[in-house]
C-alpha cells in the first residue's frame, strides 16, 4: 500500500538539535554552550551534504540566537556539533524557503546550481541513522572532530584496493596518520582523552600506525595510490585498519 502524504507537506528533511556543549580551539580546550549562532538544544533543519567532505560540515536552518523570536538563519556547521538526528516533514513555508533559497557564499561568488535537497523520506532516514551512529563513535573525547578525521582515515585504509579506488588519495591519508593526527613523532598514548578513549584503542591504532609508518619511511608520503596498494606489506595495513575501525566503533570484525 502506498504511503499517504499529507496535503500540507512541503518536503521531508533531517532535523537535529544543537549540542548542549561544544568544544573548540586547539586540543578542544575551549568549551561553549551551544554555538555562536544557535543556542543549546536549538532544533535545526539539515540539508543533505553539499560537498565531498564525508558530511563533516552540513548546511542547517534554525532560529538564530541573536535575531529575535522566530527569525531563521541558514548556516554551515560541523556535524559533530549536532545530536539526535531524525526525520520530520517540512510544513512551514518560512522553513522551506530557507532550505531551497539560492546560496551565495560570498558577496562576489554564487553557488553553481541549486542546493541539493532530500530526494525521499528513506534517503533522509538512512542519513539520520548514519549520523546518529557517528555521534556515538565520536563521543567520549575532547576532540570529536579530530576523532572523526581518524575514523575517515581508517575507513580509507581498510577499504582501498586495486579494484576499489579510495575516495581520499592515499598519500593524504598516509601523511595524516603518520605526521598529523598524533603529532610528529607520533605519541599515541598521549592522545587518550583527546582523540582516543582507552588503552584498547591505543593498541589498535598502534597496530595500524606501525606498518603504515614503515611503508611511508620506505616510499615517502607523496606516492600514487598504486604504489601504496602494490607494496608487499599493504595487506597487513588493510587488516590492521579494519580491526582498529571496529575497535573505535564498537563493531565486530567481519
Residues 104 and 184 in one domain: no
Task: Please report where in the chains the cell 538564530 appears, as a residue.
Answer: 64
Q: How far apart are CA 196 and CA 173, in angstroms?
A: 18
Residues 22 and 99 in one domain: yes
Cis upstream peptide for 185 (omega within 30°): yes
Chain center to CA of 46? 14
Residues 97 and 205 in one domain: no
Residues 157 and 95 in one domain: no
pTM of the entire predicted model: 0.70
In a domain, 2, yes or no: no
Q: How far apart are CA 57 and CA 51, in angstroms?
A: 8
76-121 tens-digit pLDDT: 998 888 999 999 999 999 999 999 998 877 665 556 678 999 999 9
In a domain, 240, yes or no: yes
Chain center to CA of 156? 14
Q: Which residues form the domain of 227?
A: 144-248
Residues 129 and 182 in one domain: no
Residues 91 and 168 in one domain: no
* Residue 115, C-beta contacts closer than 8 angstroms, at least 6 positions apart: 47, 50, 59, 99, 100, 101, 102, 103
- Domains: count for the chain: 2
Domain termination residue (choose one: 76, 108, 138)? 138
Question: For 196, which DSSP code?
Answer: B
Residues 16 and 108 in one domain: yes
Residues 132 and 158 in one domain: no
12-55 tens-digit pLDDT: 999 999 988 777 766 556 677 788 889 999 999 999 998 865 67
Phi, psi torsion values for 196, nearest 5 degrees: -115, 160
Q: How far apart are CA 133 and CA 119, in angstroms?
A: 22
Would the pLDDT of 253 be above 70?
Answer: no
Amino acid at each position: 500500500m502506498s504511503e499517504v502524504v499529507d496535503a500540507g507537506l512541503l518536503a521531508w528533511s533531517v532535523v537535529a538539535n544543537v549540542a548542549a556543549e561544544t568544544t573548540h580551539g586547539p586540543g578542544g580546550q575551549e568549551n561553549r554552550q551551544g554555538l555562536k549562532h544557535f543556542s543549546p538544544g536549538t532544533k535545526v533543519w539539515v540539508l543533505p551534504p553539499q560537498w565531498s567532505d564525508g558530511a563533516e560540515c552540513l548546511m542547517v536552518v534554525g532560529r538564530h540566537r541573536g535575531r529575535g523570536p522566530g527569525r531563521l538563519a541558514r548556516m554551515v556547521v560541523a556535524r559533530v556539533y549536532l545530536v539526535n538526528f531524525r526525520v520530520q516533514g517540512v510544513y512551514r513555508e518560512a522553513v522551506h524557503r530557507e532550505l531551497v533559497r539560492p546560496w551565495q557564499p560570498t558577496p562576489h561568488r554564487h553557488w553553481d546550481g541549486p542546493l541539493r535537497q532530500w530526494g525521499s523520506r528513506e534517503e533522509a532516514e538512512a542519513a539520520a541513522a548514519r549520523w546518529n551512529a557517528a555521534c556515538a563513535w565520536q563521543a567520549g573525547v575532547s576532540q570529536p572532530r579530530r576523532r572523526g578525521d581518524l575514523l575517515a582515515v581508517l575507513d580509507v585504509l581498510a577499504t582501498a584496493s586495486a579494484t576499489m579506488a579510495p575516495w581520499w588519495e592515499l598519500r593524504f591519508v598516509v601523511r595524516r596518520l603518520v605526521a598529523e593526527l598524533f603529532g610528529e613523532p607520533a605519541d599515541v598514548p598521549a592522545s587518550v582523552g583527546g582523540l582516543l578513549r582507552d588503552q584498547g584503542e591505543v593498541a589498535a591504532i598502534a597496530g595500524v600506525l606501525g606498518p603504515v609508518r614503515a611503508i611511508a619511511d620506505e616510499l615517502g608520503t607523496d606516492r600514487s595510490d598504486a604504489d601504496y596498494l602494490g607494496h608487499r606489506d599493504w595487506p597487513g595495513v588493510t587488516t590492521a585498519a579494519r580491526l582498529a575501525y571496529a575497535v573505535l566503533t564498537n563493531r565486530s570484525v567481519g
